[in-house]
Amino acid sequence: MPTTDFSYLSATEIARLIRRREVSPVEVMDATVARIEQRNPSLNGLIYLGFDDARREAKAAEAAVMSGTDLPPLHGVPAAIKDLFDFKPGWPTTFGGVRALRDNIAQFHCPFAERIEKGGAILVGKTNAPVMGLRGVTDNYLFGPTNNPFDTTRNPGGSSGGSAAIVADGLVSIAEGTDAGGSIRIPAAWCGVYGYKPAFGRVPVVMRPNAFAGDLPYVFEGPITRTVEDAALAMSVLGGYDPRDPLSLSETVDYLGALKQSIKGFRIGYSPNLDVFPVDPRVAETVERAVGAFTDAGAQVEEIKLGIRYSQRELSDLWLRLMMPLNMGTLEAVKAGGLDLLADHRGDFPPEYLHWIESYGQTMTAADLRRDQAMRSEIYDAFQAAFATYDLVITPTVAALPVKNEAGGNTHGPREVNGEAVDQGIGWCLTYPLNFTGHPAASIPAGLVDGLPVGMQIIGRRYADADVLAASATFERLRPWAESYRICAERVI
């Protein structure tokens, strides 16, 4: 292995090499910058490059190594954060490519950036996202679409699409995902990487002026990586109580220890469609084959029905309505800062976004919200009933294969799946019901269809992060996917 190429080394391996003084953080950073400069133009995954900051921090990391002080777990490992509600002082924040915010500079850290840096990682830049994160693909009018490294004519999914794309293409080994409807898991599925959404409250979400805004629906932050071990390592520095988040948890989880846990004897409920979602047969067949790995590991797998009585269209409409208070809060906060985006910059927003804001966000009543919370409660009850019998529930992550990117900055998801109409923003994603409920869930690579990745969603009991990681690690040992990145690595630039 040439020591100047760290492209597909895991974060765990890079940190180990640095700790043993076999490579220096400066050497790793120089190689990372070179790879980003070579390959990011074909991906458009990173939309802000913080190389000056990164190189300065790499030199400080090298000095810490040479001083012999104790090193944090991710010391010297390059990483990236997302350009949505994610902040590092002095770096721009455009809320997903809103043109009017191109010069909006953050003056504080978000918890993810704060904790990943405290854990030793070095941030190299910010990744592309859709406007306000309100769709399952990554495209916007300011930066344009991100391309999928498995096929650069296609989208990587969203909203953390830039993060998933650069991890799959070996630019960094860890990138931030945020997830209010699947935004960690959707792009992980379409980019063939591992996306971990922890149980609600594990990673603090700090919001102001409304400190409680992250529960309608549940909003999560978590890592996107190529290996399960890297996700567990990242969680070891990201997780834990934060007094600024009234909903954060103080319980300690041994994330790395969970990787050694056996799932022999686990009861696993396999839902091929969450009762009501149409699923592309190629996706369904790939996930059904993948589920067999859990039987090989000694678990009992049974196909189940959850008893969901709403249609998939009713569920996606519910999610979009529940997202309105959070989005209205953001727009009002920006307006309080002197910028009325809806009045003066309507052209910065896709028409679909404006439809939901104006038809629902500005007109919803307390009675409307009460009815929607009752619908949400039924989904929670359905999952809780399943977990009274089963340790895990397995589903496809998304129902379709990656879509082609469109011109003009407004790429859409599929209009229909198996002949059934779905909402193009989120209706093809079997992820957002878990943002109603708060259960931990991961998307893990299940296989390829015509060279395009398919994801499998692993869902655990409420707060049972260790079970999800144990099952993920077991699957990775039995059905390793690392070889699939050859498709990305051999792509001609």
| pLDDT tens track for 133-184 | 999 999 999 999 999 999 999 999 999 999 999 999 999 999 999 999 999 9
Could you say which of 24, 82, 88, 236 is catalytic? Answer: 82
**Distance, CA of 312 to chain centre:** 22
Q: Return d(Cα 36, Cα 184) in angstroms, integer.
A: 22
User: Please, is 289 exposed, middle or buried when counting C-beta atoms within 10 Å of its C-beta (0-12, 13-18, 19+)?
Assistant: middle
3 state SS of 219: coil
Rounded mean pLDDT of 355-369? Answer: 95
Q: Return d(Cα 268, Cα 439) in angstroms, integer.
A: 15
Which tops the pLDDT comparison, 493 or 150? 150
Quick check: 484 pLDDT over 50? yes
Q: Return d(Cα 117, Cα 109) in angstroms, integer.
A: 10
Per-residue pLDDT, 144: 98
Model confidence band, residue 492 (pLDDT cutoffs 50, 70, 90): confident
The token duo for 158 is 């969203």
Model confidence band, residue 461 (pLDDT cutoffs 50, 70, 90): very high
Residue 82: active-site member: yes
Per-residue pLDDT, 2: 43
3 state SS of 199: coil
Window from 70-74, 107-111, 432-436 with minimum mean pLDDT: 107-111
Q: Helix crossing, 25-43 with 11-19: angle to 10°? A: 160
Quick check: 258 pLDDT over 90? yes
The token duo for 387 is 């977990």
User: Please, is 1 exposed, middle or buried when counting C-beta atoms within 10 Å of its C-beta (0-12, 13-18, 19+)?
Assistant: exposed
Q: Return d(Cα 182, Cα 418) in angstroms, integer.
A: 21
Per-residue pLDDT, 381: 98
The token duo for 242 is 């934060």
- On average, the pLDDT of the chain sits at 97
In which element (H, E) is residue 98 found? Answer: none
Q: Tell me if the pTM is above 0.85.
A: yes
Rounded mean pLDDT of 2-11? Answer: 82
CA-nearest of 226, 220, 183, 216 to 429 is 183
Residue 472: active-site member: no
Could you say which of 24, 159, 173, 484 is catalytic? Answer: 159
Per-residue pLDDT, 466: 98
Quick check: 29 pLDDT over 80? yes
Q: Return d(Cα 180, Cα 178) in angstroms, integer.
A: 7
DSSP string, 382-432: HHHHHHTT-SEEEEESBSSPPPBP-TTS-----SEETTEE--TTTTTBS-T
Rounded mean pLDDT of 406-419? Answer: 98
**Distant-in-sequence, close-in-space partners of 138: CB < 8 Å, separation ≥ 6:** 128, 129, 130, 145, 146, 155, 156, 157, 158, 159, 160, 161, 162, 165, 187, 411
Q: Return d(Cα 75, Cα 219) in angstroms, integer.
A: 28
Could you say which of 10, 24, 163, 183 is catalytic? Answer: 183
> pLDDT tens for residues 39-65?
999 999 999 999 999 999 999 999 999
> pLDDT tens for residues 384-396?
999 999 999 999 9
Per-residue pLDDT, 366: 95
Per-residue pLDDT, 5: 85
Rounded mean pLDDT of 466-493? Answer: 96
The token duo for 162 is 């830039």
Per-residue pLDDT, 1: 40
Q: Return d(Cα 44, Cα 65) in angstroms, integer.
A: 33
Find the DSSP H helices in 119-184.
Answer: 161-168
Model confidence band, residue 130 (pLDDT cutoffs 50, 70, 90): very high
CA-nearest of 183, 256, 169 to 221 is 183
Q: Return d(Cα 179, Cα 224) in angstroms, integer.
A: 11
3 state SS of 491: coil
> pLDDT tens for residues 235-254?
999 999 999 999 999 999 99
Residue 163: active-site member: no
Residue 271 DSSP one-character state: -
Backbone dihedral angles phi then psi of residue 250, each to the nearest 5 degrees: -100, -10
Quick check: 72 pLDDT over 50? yes
Amino acid at 421: A
CA-nearest of 269, 194, 230, 223 to 475 is 194
Please report how many Cα atoms fall inside a 13 Å half-sphere around the Cα of residue 475, on the Cβ side: 27
